């Protein structure tokens, strides 16, 4: 049976399908057109920028870090460029196997591997980490010839910091190190302009002047716009802006003097700060033992860190800035001046020194079993009478002592241009109320005041504070904030500027009171405790020895150094100024656990004055004796300071 289709119906259906298909096609074209308008018109600028960014890479150009020099232009810190082998392994890559393969091309030591593993832990998310630093030209050539074997491994030119004098001046210079996670997080809070200047920067100042003057030393980051291929390889440089090197710091420190003092300490621990009382410039800033800041530049290895960090001598402790010590008898000239200024005593007031001072049931001893007899202010300093200052402290009271001596900088930060300065402690009744929680501990007992007079008890100061106070006394009451940097030089224009400092403060001391204390301190070098050390000196100076307890001893028990461990013996201190009538240098020095001030500390001070005032350096024989604490007045033929090789140890001459 034949079936006939309805042609009209079929045509109608076909036309319907055709219309639907046409609508779909037109809708598709409309969507494409709308998308084209969206991409080419609405988002044109944005997408063009992205396309350009895919084609063009902006690479930060890290500036050369500024140079640090001493007052005579001797370079203390500089930078140089060298090649590093850096690894950014693909995810899941067997790093150890890759390092083994690399070791067949360039030398990779176990220390390099340990440092790389430590950096992996500390710098998670970093684009690349150094496997080897300071590659030789031969090593660079060998690697580049086989680069195809090592995906993710690159040779890059990096700037390295170098401290050419090694351990000399390490505590004042500080060091730089790789930016850690905490520092990176802190940088993210900076304003945009400051962040932009640190893009690509991997090392910053961590300690000392490197930390304090980080931004002037850092310089201005430049950039390079590089056209890249689809594979990310650079094709050509489009444009660039050269980085601007960091500013040069010129220090007030004389590095030859610094090296000489460090040499004179030998293997002993301690600190010395020397200041120009006319302007606050720091001439020497010594903390012993020292360390080599070059160890930290590439990341210190575990063994070196353990040796520094766990040493009983604490070489990482900046004793001049953060070490606090009881000042001992070096405190007496300031107590004498406080007595005169407050009117508690006149210079002629006489006290009978019978060898002991009794307060209640407690007997405070002087040195020796016999007393000094009648003692006035002058003789109290020359002969270092304890009884005179026990009774003076009792008469003044703790709060008057605090009021009179705080203006000298005791117990407060000096304002030096270094981070991390300790405050020290000059006690008061208010301080004790704030320092303790229990009511019986908060109360100030009158007996606690007595030891303050001889620089013991709660008194604890840094050598920086003691030197600053001595500089204030030497200047007749003008207190300058100590400073390390005397000038900052722009590397482009050569313009020099001095860092901002607080204006000098005048303590309004009466000249006759200052002169009375100065005369007594001068007599210390002629007939007092440091007379043997300053015998034959062609200049007049003033000084005061001090011996301070490192640990307390029981009442009525005599001190016996031979029975104590070395770290528990008394400290040796000396404060001084020279020349007497117009001082150009004031200093404070402590030699830890070295005993009497005239035996260890004063000989170092004498030789510092000889260097600064006479241009002389100790003979080899004298230097050896001073290092061992066995010298008095200099012996042998002194050498000329200018003959010392900059950067060599103090004992070596041309």
Is 256 strand, coil or helix? helix
- Please say whether the beta carbons of 450 and 565 come within 8 A: no
In DSSP notation, 294-342 reads HHHHT---HHHHHHHHH-TT-TTS-TTTT--B--GGGGHHHHHHHHHHH
What is the rounded distance in angstroms from the CA atom of residue 52 to the CA atom of residue 62? 23
Residue 75's DSSP bridge partners are 69
What is the rounded distance in angstroms from the CA atom of residue 323 to the CA atom of residue 318? 7
**Cα–Cα distances in angstroms (integers) from residue 382 to residues 130, 275, 307, 392, 545, in the given order:** 61, 24, 44, 16, 10
What is the rounded distance in angstroms from the CA atom of residue 654 to the CA atom of residue 650? 11
What is the rounded distance in angstroms from the CA atom of residue 35 to the CA atom of residue 327? 82
Query: What DSSP designation does 460 have?
Result: B
- Please say whether the beta carbons of 162 and 77 come within 8 A: yes
What is the rounded distance in angstroms from the CA atom of residue 545 to the CA atom of residue 574? 5
List, in order, residues 6 or more apart from 307 with CB less than 8 Å away.
none
Find the Cα–Cα–Cα–Cα dihedral 14, 20, 26, 27, rounded to 10°: -170
Catalytic (active site) residue 391: no
What is the rounded distance in angstroms from the CA atom of residue 154 to the CA atom of residue 171? 35
- Please say whether the beta carbons of 401 and 452 come within 8 A: yes
Tokens read off for 469: 């106070």
Q: Is 557 exposed, middle or buried (0-12, 13-18, 19+ CB in 10 A)?
A: exposed
Residue 256 main-chain phi, psi, to 5 deg: -65, -45
Give the residue from 158, 140, 155 showing the smallest Cα distance to 87.
155
List, in order, residues 6 or more apart from 157 with CB less than 8 Å away.
81, 82, 83, 84
Question: Residue 629: left if φ>0, alpha if ψ -120 to 50, beta else—which one?
Answer: left
Q: Is 336 exposed, middle or buried (0-12, 13-18, 19+ CB in 10 A)?
A: buried
Which of the residues 329, 366, 384, 468 is marked catalytic? 329
- Number of Cβ within a 10 Å radius of residue 44: 12
Element housing 20 (H / E): helix 7-37
Give the residue from 483, 415, 575 showing the smallest Cα distance to 279.
483
In DSSP notation, 278-292 reads TT-BEEEEEEES---
In DSSP notation, 216-235 reads HHH-B-EEEEEEE-TTS-EE
Report, as residue numbers or ranges, the catalytic residues.
329
């Amino acid at each position: 049976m034949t079936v006939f289709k309805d042609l009209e119906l079929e045509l109608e259906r076909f036309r319907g399908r055709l219309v639907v298909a046409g609508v779909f096609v037109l809708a598709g074209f409309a969507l494409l057109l709308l998308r084209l308008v969206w991409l080419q018109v609405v988002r044109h600028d944005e997408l063009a920028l992205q396309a350009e960014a895919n084609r063009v890479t902006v690479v930060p150009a890290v500036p050369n870090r500024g140079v640090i020099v001493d007052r005579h232009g001797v370079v203390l810190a500089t930078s140089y460029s060298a090649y590093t082998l850096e690894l950014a392994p693909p995810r899941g890559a067997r790093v150890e196997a890759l390092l083994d393969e690399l070791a067949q091309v360039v030398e990779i030591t176990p220390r390099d591997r340990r440092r790389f593993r430590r950096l992996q832990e500390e710098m998670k998310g970093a684009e690349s980490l150094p496997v080897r630093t300071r590659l030789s030209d031969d090593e660079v050539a060998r690697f580049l010839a086989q680069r195809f074997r090592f995906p993710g491994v690159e040779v890059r030119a990096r700037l390295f910091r170098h401290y050419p004098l090694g351990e000399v001046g390490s505590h004042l210079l500080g060091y730089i190190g790789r930016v850690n996670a905490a520092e990176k997080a802190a940088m993210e809070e900076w304003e945009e302009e400051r962040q932009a200047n640190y893009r690509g920067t991997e090392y910053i100042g961590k300690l000392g002047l490197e930390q304090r003057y980080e931004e002037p030393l850092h310089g201005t980051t430049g950039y390079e716009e590089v056209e890249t291929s689809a594979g990310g390889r650079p094709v050509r440089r489009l444009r660039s802006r050269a980085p601007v090197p960091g500013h040069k710091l010129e220090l007030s420190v004389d590095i030859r003097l610094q090296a000489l003092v460090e040499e004179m300490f030998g293997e002993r621990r301690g600190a010395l700060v020397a200041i120009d009382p006319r302007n606050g410039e720091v001439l020497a800033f010594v903390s012993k033992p020292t360390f080599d800041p070059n160890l930290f530049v590439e990341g210190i290895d575990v063994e070196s860190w353990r040796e520094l960090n766990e040493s009983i001598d604490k070489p990482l402790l900046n004793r001049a800035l953060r070490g606090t010590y009881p000042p001992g008898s070096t405190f007496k000239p300031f107590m004498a001046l406080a007595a005169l200024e407050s009117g508690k005593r006149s210079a002629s007031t006489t006290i009978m020194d019978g060898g002991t001072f009794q307060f209640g049931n407690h007997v405070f001893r002087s040195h020796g079993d016999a007393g000094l007899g009648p003692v006035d202010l002058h003789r109290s300093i020359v002969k270092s009478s304890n009884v005179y200052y026990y009774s003076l402290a009792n008469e003044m009271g703790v709060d008057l002592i605090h009021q009179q001596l705080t203006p000298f900088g005791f117990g407060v930060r000096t304002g030096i241009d270094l981070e991390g300065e300790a405050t020290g402690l000059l006690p008061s009744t208010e301080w004790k109320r704030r320092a303790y929680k229990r009511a019986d501990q908060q109360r100030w007992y009158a007996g606690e005041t007595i030891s303050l007079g001889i620089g013991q008890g709660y008194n604890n100061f840094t050598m920086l504070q003691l030197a600053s106070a001595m500089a204030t006394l030497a200047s007749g009451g003008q207190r300058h904030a100590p400073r390390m940097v005397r000038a900052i030089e722009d590397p482009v224009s050569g313009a020099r500027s001095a860092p901002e400092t607080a204006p000098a403060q005048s303590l309004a001391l009466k000249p006759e009171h200052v002169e009375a204390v100065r005369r007594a301190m001068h007599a210390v070098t002629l007939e007092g405790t440091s007379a043997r050390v300053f015998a034959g000196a062609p200049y007049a100076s003033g000084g005061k020895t001090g011996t301070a307890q490192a640990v307390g001893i029981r009442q009525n028990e005599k001190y016996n150094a031979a029975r104590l461990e070395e770290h528990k013996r008394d400290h040796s201190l000396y404060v001084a100024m020279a020349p007497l009538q117009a001082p150009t240098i004031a200093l404070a020095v402590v030699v830890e656990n070295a005993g009497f001030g005239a035996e260890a500390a004063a000989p170092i001070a004498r030789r510092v004055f000889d260097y600064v005032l006479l241009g002389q350096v100790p003979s080899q024989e004298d230097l050896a004796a001073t290092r061992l604490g066995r010298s008095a007045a200099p012996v042998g033929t002194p050498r000329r300071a200018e003959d010392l090789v900059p950067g060599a140890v103090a004992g070596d001459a041309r």
